[in-house]
Amino acid sequence: MSFDRATISQPILIQAIGRGLYQLGSAILLFYLPIVFVNYAGFTATQVGLAVGGGSIAGFIGNFVGGAMTDSKQLGRRGTLIGAALLSITAAIITAFAQTLPLLLVANIFFGVGTGLYWTAADAAVMDVTTSEERQSAFSILAVLDNVGLGLGTLGGAWLLKTIHPENQMFTVAAAVFGMMLLLFTIGVKETRDQATAAEVVDGLTGWKTAVTDSRLITYLIVNTLFITYIALVNSNLPLYLINFQHIVESTVSNLFTFGYVGLGAVIQVPIIRLIAGLGYLQSLMISTVIWAIGFGLLALWHPIDQNLIAALTTLIVFAIATVIYKPTSATWIAELSPPSLRGAYTAIAYQCWAIGYFIGPIFGGWALDQPADVTHRFWLIVGLSGGVGLLVLQLLSQRQAKHDAITVEAD
């Protein structure tokens, strides 16, 4: 894997900037939504979890629609990205003025559908303009901007929370950021679908049937859902846990996430991917699984020590390492599985895991945060132990991939 000119071409840079803007707006929206609505608007953690989880169900629709739009001649990658930006703007504006649970749910539904459209089209656009050898490094570049956007959103959101009153009005800033993303996609993105699929035309229904009957893809969905649930718990529930259970002040939690989780992730993203470049994609994902388990185990172990900033920072550093291994490796693995003409379908199905994970994580995490402290602490331990399931599934997938490779060699 090398970081050459092809890897950092103009289309990749535009997608990287778009990723940074998307995550900047998303961080303001998703990171601070539980804090604002639980601690300032009088909602319970369970109610907010239901709203976020309900929006994730809408992500199912967004992923399927996004896959169809991304692979269509009429809209393609560019049209789908523009649609995602419009939905994200709408979601942020509704959140800024939401005073009831139904309205908050509607906002999350808009954002969930927009999320499905964005990730499907953005990843397909990157796959279109990179070769197999370039993809992991290209997705690493996007992951760096991913973390930069998250970091700026988390840090800036803390300032917005202190400055803007009523507090939910801070989400209008997220709408403005998504507006910048809309402008970027409208002006800067060129359609890449045709160059990726010029030599291959597949009927839509046939293409989806191919994707859903690919046993390697379907098996991977299990462990990918586990990864996304971990990410959802860290992004949506862990901040509130540190504030309400470990009694760490909001501004300090914001700084811990900005520098110890997101900021560190941006710094170590490329070096970590270079370090594991010699490993297979599934081996790298196994390493990520183990590191996630260690992180949640640490979270369960250090809870008796109140306001333990060193322990909190250490745990977030562990999560940062697990995340930077997972994100580009997972995207590259999906790219390796999918035929060029079916990248939208394969990516859409794979990103159903985001909808499922962000449904499971906030709901169960919100429930855990509403329980007595001992139940909440045991919850983190159970989450860590679930990594064993992930390792078993990845081992099974590795065996299936080996059989597939053997059949391919024989056919050649």
Query: What residue spans define the domains of the chain?
Result: 10-196+203-411
Handedness of CA 212, 217, 223, 224 (dihedral sign): negative
The number of helix segments (H) and strand segments (E) in the chain equals 19, 0
Which of 161-165, 349-353, 378-382 has the weakest average pLDDT?
A: 349-353
Dump pLDDT digits (tens) for 20-65: 999 999 999 988 998 899 999 889 988 998 898 888 788 888 888 8
120-134, 179-193, 203-217, 273-287: least confident range = 203-217
Say which amino acid occupies 70: T
**DSSP letter string, 169-219:** GGHHHHHHHHHHHHHHHHHH----HHHHHTT----HHHHHHHHHT-HHHHH
According to the model, what pLDDT value does residue 7 have? 56
Give which of 84, 121, 107 is closest to 29, Cα–Cα: 107
% of the chain at pLDDT higher than 70: 92
- Stretch 139-157: mean pLDDT, rounded? 88
Is 314 buried (19+), middle (13-18) or exposed (0-12) by CB count in 10 A?
middle
Per-residue pLDDT at 59:
80
DSSP 280: -
Q: Among 365, 362, 384, 385, which residue's Cα sits nearest to residue 375?
A: 365
pLDDT band for 320, please (50, 70, 90 cuts): very high
Furthest-apart CA pair in the chain: how many Å? 67
Predicted confidence (pLDDT) at residue 83 exceeds the cutoff of 80 = yes
Cβ-in-10-Å burial (0-12, 13-18, 19+) of 194 comes to: exposed
Among residues 317, 163, 162, 318, the alpha carbon closest in space to that of 249 is found at 162
- Name the residue with higher pLDDT: 179 or 3: 179
Across the range 110-129, mean pLDDT stands at 91
The two structure tokens encoding residue 14: 């535009």
Q: What pLDDT, on the 0 to 100 scale, is given for residue 318?
A: 96
Contact yes or no for 93/73 (Cβ under 8 A): no
Contact 355, 59 (CB under 8 A): yes
Q: Average of pLDDT values for 297-308?
A: 77
Give residue 127's pLDDT band: very low, low, confident or very high (50, 70, 90).
Answer: confident
Predicted pLDDT of residue 1? 46
> Helix, strand, coil: what percent of the chain each, to 5?
85, 0, 15
Give residue 32's identity as a one-letter amino acid code: Y
Most confident of the following: 25-39, 256-270, 379-393: 379-393
Greatest mean pLDDT range, 4-8, 57-61, 246-250: 246-250
Could you give the CA distance from residue 328 to residue 382 in angstroms, rounded to a whole number?
27
- Among 69-73, 103-107, 259-263, top mean pLDDT goes to 103-107
Is pLDDT of 173 > 60? yes
- The pLDDT score that the predictor gives to residue 2 is 47
CATH T-level assignment (fold) for domain 10-196+203-411: Growth Hormone; Chain: A; (1.20.1250)
